[in-house]
Amino acid sequence: MLRIDDRITIEDWELTEQFTRASGPGGQNVNKVSTAVELRFEAERSPNLPDPVKRRLRRLAGRRWTNDGAVVIFVQDTRHQPRNREIARERLAELIRAAVHVPKRRVPTKPTKGSVRRRLEAKKQRGEVKALRKGPTSPKN
């Protein structure tokens, strides 16, 4: 069982682990030992996640979200299978914690009349400075 917070816990039946051979350095064991972990969490079918959390999790997971509604986390950071398993579970828990957090609604603000006036005056002054840089124009014959 994976504990996310006081209200949300993920049951073991919702998680599927598959071990594969990791790429990269590993010495003599690299072609013999399956140390990489692919953790699969059936998020869409999970009764422990409320619908708003599922929607935010889908957005946060990005390409880790599969078409059948699962979150897939692949870890091959270390040469030790138990440590990779631990890291995968930690990453899943962090992702779900981020989805539990409700983002604050942004309230658009309007600039004050004084700031608008100051901006327009500064633009006018800048335009005058640039206009003074032009030399006198001669009449064309």
Report the b/e string of 3-34 with b at 16+ CB within 10 A: ebeeebebeeebbeeeeeebeeeeeeeeeebe
Q: What pLDDT is stored for residue 110 in this prediction? A: 94
Number of domains, the chain: 1
The answer to whether residue 122 sits within a structural domain is: no
**How large is the average pLDDT for residues 77-93?**
89
Helical residues (DSSP H) of 8-112, grouped into ranges = 51-61, 81-100
The answer to whether residue 43 sits within a structural domain is: yes
Q: What pLDDT is stored for residue 136 in this prediction? A: 76
Please write the tens of the pLDDT for every residue from 125-140.
Answer: 999 999 999 877 777 7
Please write the tens of the pLDDT for every residue from 91-131.
Answer: 999 998 898 888 899 999 999 999 999 999 999 999 999 99
The answer to whether residue 135 sits within a structural domain is: no
The answer to whether residue 118 sits within a structural domain is: no
* CATH of residue 70: 3.30.160.20
Amino acid at 100: V
pLDDT above 70 for 50: yes
Q: What is the pTM of this model?
A: 0.69
The answer to whether residue 129 sits within a structural domain is: no
The Cα angle at residue 78 between residues 63 and 38, in degrees rounded to 5: 35
Q: What pLDDT is stored for residue 30 in this prediction? A: 66
Domain range holding 63? 2-100
